[in-house]
Structure 1
Amino acid sequence: MSETPDSAVQTVRTYIEQHRAAFLDDLVDWLRIPSVSAQPDHAPDVRRSAEWLSAALSKTGFPTVEIWETDGAPAVFAEWPSDESDAPTVLVYGHHDVQPAALEDGWHTDPFEPQVVDGRMYARGASDDKGQVFFHTLGVRAHLAATGRTTPAVTLKLLIEGEEESGSPHFRELVEAHADRLAADAVIVSDTGMWSEDTPTVCTGMRGVADCEIELYGPDQDIHSGSFGGAVPNPATVAGRIVAALHDADERVAIPGFYEGVAELSAAERELIAELPFDEPAWLRTAKSRGTLGEAGFSTLERVWARPTAEVNGIGGGYQGPGGKTIVPASAQLKLSFRLVAGQDPARIEQAVRDWLAGLVPAGIRYEIVFGAPTRPCLTPLDHPALQSVARAMSTAFDGAKIRFTREGGSGPAADLQDVLAAPVLFLGISVPSDGWHAPNEKVELDLLLKGVEATAHLWDDLATALR
């Protein structure tokens, strides 16, 4: 693939500069809408946000813009067909809902009254995810200006959901219901970030997650430990043994079959991760922790990004009040979660956990285990043509900088798109760790936001060639 001509780079930058003020003014208007999906009182605002975005996408030039209803909050779908019959199709994913925010949480200013200070825009949703969704509107217009086209080089679709900050409870159902309309050759997720302002990166995948709650029942009520302790099974003791059995001495998950299918890191991938300027002491300070611990043989970043895990999210049972109460408790509870990597099937993991648990619980203890809805892992190989397109577009936006590759340790709905649509998922985001997602004083660096605009302006031409 050839490099983007200097003339196209300059045309894109000139166009962005000419439209920067109007673009930011429009973003401010959108950020003023408190589209907090987790709070029922804001349901009308989430709908208003969807309606605002629909109007903005129509104004951008998308000939098809629709609000798609769910059993929860509405999503927005838009499509702009290419005039080339053999053009590939690209779907952009993001979300228009935001986390709760209030001045008393520690915000310096009203979180829904955006403020620009020293080149940063402060507002809830500035980076997560309205800013990163909205840069696609100016990006596609800059793409048209630079190429002289009247339609994008790819058939461009957008799906912007309204429940991501509430766990996307209806997202997979929405994708399955509209799979034909959403069909694409590649998916671009703009709900992610970079390593730092000085180290532009492209994410290649996210972990999946499966979680469960376990209830353990012993005697029908709390009973006297002097009269009965040591002679009947104690559900709190059993809970402790389950937790102790989760890992072996090397901190590997000890559930039989847990690692079946795991996509192992290649030597090249480990080298790329090791190249990143990782400051472990600073990372520990961010983690509010005093030491690292994890699966033997892997670095901290490898553990967080590319290895599956088992975590105890909660444990309880028995007397928790002041002083002592000498009982055998009637019940105990556990909450466990498992981060999954490429190659792991959540259904197989659930069955493995159930089989493992059945072998640990003694007679006399009744138990129930309930799993939540899983999220599948997703991963795009480093040599995939679409991933290389994203890296080239980012490099052009960042003046030829070397683009490095990362992964996300968390989980998200992008895997549902990969699973249902059978399309590779690529991540293009410009947020940096200091943007404070979900925290007070969330912000976006305006220079980086416009780099996102620039990257998308160059991406569609590159993908049009790479995906043919």
Structure 2
Amino acid sequence: MTTVREFIDIHRHDLLRDLDEWLRIPGISAQPAHHADVLRSAEWFAAAATRTGFPTVEIWPTAGMPTVFAEWPSDDPDAPTVVVYGHHDVQPVDPIELWTSDPFDPTIDGDLLRARGASDDKGQLLFHLLAVRAHLAATGLTSPAVNLKLLIEGEEESGSPNFEQLLADRHERLACDVVVITDTGMLAADTPSTVTGMRGLVAATVYFHGPDLDLHSGVFGGAVPNPATAIAALVAALHDDDGRVQIPGFYDDVLSLTASERELFAKVPFAESEFLSVAKSRALDGEAGYSTLERLGARPTAEVNGIGGGYQGDGGKTIVPSDAFAKLSFRLVASQVPERIRLAVEEFVATRTPVGIQARVEWDGDGVAPCLVPLGTPAYDALAASISEAFDGREVLPTREGGSGPEAAIQQALGVPLVFLGVGLPDDQIHAPNEKVNLSMLYKGAEIAAGLWSRFAQVGAAALRDLTPAESPAAGDGSAAG
């Protein structure tokens, strides 16, 4: 038998060959012109899982784009069952002129592979196929030490509109003891870490309608309400001077950070200059009294994503516009409920709509609930141990991601713990031009997963389902998180 690391080193070119093929499929779920490509993407991964050895591989249709399901039962009748979640669809590539190479023609420069989907999420899914092969080679088993199921969604990058229905329809097939989310990242290539929380999200467009037609500002200006002025005032009222959201009730359900959690956040390496360089920004900002990392992962936010109304062309046009709008999004943290935030926002808009203005709030779906991983549980500790081993015994640091996804829906539907195994890096430029992945991180991901299946098997099904931490995390304990 060879070791996991030796097997991965010998077979890394298998991963590169497969990744090159898969990345050439422009499976952009948000664009109808590419929906046939999303189906091709699903078919490609299904074939790859079959080649790897999964005896059951199916493409599950939805009302939108397809999901791939693969299952490899363990020969051990007492083995725990693990579901690995990720997504095979990718983001649009606009603006295309900012790419230094064709986004669907993968290019390699040393340790970097650049293409749309390289990090988010195709590269991170393919390391699992290499991982299960390495796991079998290192253990001498003919089947994984766990009952392994892959759930690879095709609509994550367009809001997962059909995913909750899929989870309900396929609930029995997805029964498991723990879920591993592979759609996140680590703090740095030399800083092993794991995500312990994802924020929720609700988003809306607020429309203000004033006069039924644009009016001459000299004849009517100052005498009738201006919807552009009103929408600007609404946006300005969202925050106070300390960056705190001013919507009544917005913070009522927020799960506050404990002192020990804040100490753990403080242990995470953070270079302000590097963060600003990646953000292409010149200053930090946000809610007073919290560090940047706390603001990004553990505090809720209100953001103005767009604002407009009235004349937008060249030169001047002196009018009182008929309409104006603002696009708003709200990131939510542990214990906040999307529906309650939606009601609070609608009340906020209603109380700040001037007489003579008609307001309408249109929501982008029902929203996404936040997700928080309990710390110190058997599942978390097994993951932390596997990550540490792949990084030669280094301490594993906790982090929370500011983004949002279907993780809470998965946890609610399946009723089991989940943990995050992701190896993307902050500068991977996911969702942006010139997305890349560090190939060395993909190899690390494969090594972690290969070891994790053995550790999960040792822990056992009953213990993996346990959400009770072994003990309260201490500030200096690298196996706990904040």
Same fold by TM-score, threshold 0.5 exceeded? yes
Cα contact 2:96–2:433 (8 A) shared by 1: no
For 1:442 and 1:239, the matched residues in 2 are separated by 35
Residues 56-455 of structure 1: pairs in structure 2 closer than 5 A: 56-101=48-93, 105-373=97-365, 374-455=367-448
Q: Structure 1 residues 302-311 or 100-109, which shifts more?
A: 100-109
For 1:364 and 1:439, the matched residues in 2 are separated by 41
In structure 1, give the amino acid aligned to 2:234: I
Q: 1:111 to 1:287 in 2, by over 3 A?
A: closer
Match of 1:457 in 2: 450
For 1:56 and 1:403, the matched residues in 2 are separated by 31
CA deviations on 1:152-196 (whole Å, 9 max, x unpaired) are 222211111122222322222222221222222221111111111
Q: Tell me how far 1:103 sits from its aligned partner.
A: 11
CA deviations on 1:302-327 (whole Å, 9 max, x unpaired) are 11111001111122223344555443
Cα contact 2:234–2:352 (8 A) shared by 1: yes
- Runs of 4+ that moved beyond 6 A: none
Q: Tell me how far 1:107 sits from its aligned partner.
A: 4.2
Cα contact 1:153–1:464 (8 A) shared by 2: yes
The DSSP-based 3-state class of the residue aligned with 1:433 is coil
User: Aligned to 1:15, which of 7, 10, 24?
Assistant: 7
In structure 1, give the amino acid aligned to 2:8: I
Q: 1:326 to 1:344 in 2, by over 3 A?
A: same
Unaligned runs of 5+ in 1: 1-7
For 2:429 and 2:237, the matched residues in 1 are separated by 36
Q: 1:37 to 1:325 in 2, by over 3 A?
A: closer
Q: 1:36 to 1:218 in 2, by over 3 A?
A: closer
The answer to whether 1:50 aligns with 2:30 is: no
User: Aligned to 2:27, which of 32, 35, 53?
Assistant: 35
For 2:274 and 2:14, the matched residues in 1 are separated by 38
Cα contact 1:314–1:335 (8 A) shared by 2: yes
CA deviations on 1:123-159 (whole Å, 9 max, x unpaired) are 3322221111011112112222223323222221111
The DSSP-based 3-state class of the residue aligned with 1:158 is strand
User: How many residues get paired?
Assistant: 460
Q: Tell me how far 1:246 sits from its aligned partner.
A: 1.1
Match of 1:4 in 2: none
Unaligned runs of 5+ in 2: 463-482
Q: 1:115 to 1:103 in 2, by over 3 A?
A: farther
Match of 2:474 in 1: none
The DSSP-based 3-state class of the residue aligned with 1:281 is helix
Q: 1:232 to 1:99 in 2, by over 3 A?
A: closer
Q: Structure 1 residues 439-448 or 307-316, which shifts more?
A: 439-448
Q: Over aligned residue pairs, what C-alpha RMSD do you find?
A: 2.2
Q: 1:58 to 1:322 in 2, by over 3 A?
A: closer
For 2:198 and 2:392, the matched residues in 1 are separated by 27
For 2:373 and 2:46, the matched residues in 1 are separated by 30
Q: Structure 1 residues 359-368 or 39-48, which shifts more?
A: 39-48
Q: Percent identity?
A: 59
Cα contact 2:19–2:126 (8 A) shared by 1: yes
Cα contact 1:380–1:426 (8 A) shared by 2: yes
Q: Tell me how far 1:108 sits from its aligned partner.
A: 4.3
